[in-house]
Amino acid sequence: MARANDEVAALFAEYADLISITGGDAFRARVYEKAARSIGGHHADVSRLDLKGLQEIPNVGRSIAEKIVEYLGTGRVSAVEELRARIPAGVRRLTAVPTLGPKKAMAVYQELGVSSIEELVDAIRDERLRDLKGFGPRTEQNILHGIALLRSSGDRVLIDAAMDVAESVVARLSTAAGCRRCAYAGSLRRGRETIGDVDVLAAADDSEPLMRAFTELPRTREVVAHGTTRTSIRTTEGLAVDLRVVPPDSWGAALQYFTGSKAHNIRTRERAVHQGLKLSEYGLFDAETGERIVSETEEEVYARLGLPWIPPPLREDRGEIEAGLRGELPELVRESDLRGDLHTHTDLTDGLAPLEQMAAAAAARGHAYYAITDHAPNLFMQRMTDERMLAQRERVRELDAEYGRRGARGGTRLLHGVELNIDPDGGVDWPDDFLAGFDLCVASVHSHFNQSRDAMTRRFLRACENPYVNIIGHPTTRVIGKRPGVDADLDALFAACARTGTALEINSHPDRLDLDDEHILRARRYGVKFAIDSDAHSTLHLAYLRYGVATAQRGWLAKDDVINAWPLTRLRRFLRKGRTG
């Protein structure tokens, strides 16, 4: 099941939207938004907390705590139900369209009766929208563009949502009678950033108990198809999950087949054909006699094709077959190679947890080093000041003295950094003498996303030339399914990063995954170094590193390409960059 915190957070986020759409008090809506975020990022399980414990969560007071209790007891909150009854669910869905907020959504619903994206597209086509006050031709264009963006990710879900489902299904099925092996395959195993449907594979002599367990999972909402080799369900979250059960001796061939990608499989089957073989999900066969040659493990299948085992993130027909034949597959960076995290926040700005909790969580993860990089003053809403930053630094130094000595492996060293804002001209928040006090600086674009390509490129290059800027944070600033990346000459950026000793971030947040795999592949050719960061805003987000690692693997990165896989002494040398003195 989804974590109770996530269910409650989703409910309050919806409530906040409904308050906004129905024109309720904006401050009240924000309170629910903030509460949703706090609850989602809270370390303790809300279903185990009492009324008093709930109120210790930031932004949760008596009223919200009572609503949580009501939800946990009855599965619903009457206040939310009342608002739901007033507004069709489709209206809220409209606010998912970028540039279409609650006010405009309510206007099209009230004036035109539009309550779905399809109806909205029709209304625009019929030019009914432009008669509304506050709407014009540009508004129509922006909305259509927003809808196109939304649809570009289709029905695909982000990797973390798919992973939650896959891991719980695998855990559950693994305990079913007769289950010999069980794993997820498909695009999720390849670490793609969005997932269409989750493919789960199991090995058993008798598929029936597994299929039954699958259809009876608590999160199964609908059984779409039910057979002896394949069953498809839709979960309560609306995600399609396929289970295929194969005989145990077909495991390797089936796993290879169902992991894909299609392009990779075409290449491997071609190789089989050229060798007088036939490759299917049941094994590698002699094409003439039909005799099965190998099938139990993926390694055997690849070996018989003259290939080393190819890590799933590489299986996209992007040169992995050729590299394998030459014996030149990269030794991919693994999550266990990461020694630290170089971009994280605390509640001094928009993080949810205080510095002390974040540091403790980082130490518990076994990080050898950990950088705190809260927002700098030019992101005005965060209200950062020189004084607050310096006070935080002092506290970081104290905690470093404490954590740096702890544990058998030398403890966790805490670094004090900052996430600077790259302004439209490429400048940053502070002059050199103030920047010199930081152990490292991440610099990111947070505004003026629509600059011309030339201006944006110049902006990035100037940031790279800054001797104190060590990492370009979430370089394209895209948000998957919501905002496209900025327009810039990325090759110029990659070259500048390589030249100046500036690392590019692989931001591990599932909404971002920025840089993406294609950009990493390109940047890598310039000899750029990368930082795989969580950009954590809560202790729970520290675990996002796994998705950044998957993306890095899809970009063929090895340990040596990633600065936070290096020992601290080597990292510190890199962070000195071109600084003088």
Binding site for DNA (CB under 7 A): 25, 27-28, 30-32, 35, 55, 58-65, 79, 95, 98-105, 133-140, 142, 350, 380-383, 446-448, 450, 479, 482-483
- Which residue, 335 or 423, is less far from DNA as judged by CB? 423
Nearest residue to 524 via CA among 546, 554, 550, 564: 554
CB of 251 to DNA, least distance (A): 44
Q: Which is nearer to DNA, 199 or 516 (CB)?
A: 516
Which helix (DSSP H) or strand (DSSP E) does residue 185 occupy?
A: none
For residue 447, count CB atoms less than 10 angstroms from its CB and return exposed for 0-12, middle for 13-18, buried for 19 or more.
middle
Nearer to DNA by Cβ, of 125 and 576: the residue is: 125
Residue (259 or 534) nearer to DNA, CB: 534
Interatomic CA distance for residues 289 and 551, integer angstroms: 42
Nearer Cβ to DNA (20/207) = 20
Contact 54, 65 (CB under 8 A): yes
Taking the complex as a whole, the smallest distance from the CB of residue 578 to DNA amounts, in Å, to 29
Kindly report whether the peptide bond that precedes residue 261 is cis, defined as omega within 30 degrees of 0. yes
Q: Least distance from C-beta 340 to DNA, angstroms?
A: 25
Comparing CB distances to DNA, the nearer of 28 and 405 is 28
Strand order in the sheet with 230-235: 181-184, 198-203, 240-246, 230-235, 220-226
Q: Which of 31, 43, 30, 36 is nearest to 7 (CA)?
A: 36
CB 114, CB 125: distance < 8 Å? no
Q: Which is nearer to DNA, 339 or 541 (CB)?
A: 541
Q: How far is the CB of 473 from DNA (least distance, A)?
A: 11
Kind and range of the H or E run holding 170: helix 159-174
Instruction: Give whole-number Cα distances, 154 to 294, 316, 481, in Å.
Output: 38, 21, 9
Q: DSSP secondary structure string, 70-86?
A: HHHHHS--HHHHHHHHH
Q: Say how many C-beta atoms besides its own lie within 10 A of residue 267's C-beta.
A: 18
235, β-bridge pairs: 220
Q: Min. distance of Cβ 424 from DNA in angstroms?
A: 8
**How far apart are CB 449 and DNA at their closest, in Å?**
7
Residue 344 structure tokens: 């994280």
Q: State the minimum distance, in angstroms, from the CB of residue 560 to DNA.
A: 32
Nearer to DNA, 131 or 291 (CB): 131
Burial of 86 (C-beta count, 10 Å sphere; 0-12/13-18/19+): exposed
CB of 12 vs DNA, minimal distance in Å: 10
* Residue closer to DNA (CB basis): 139 or 220: 139
Nearest distance in Å: CB 234, DNA: 28
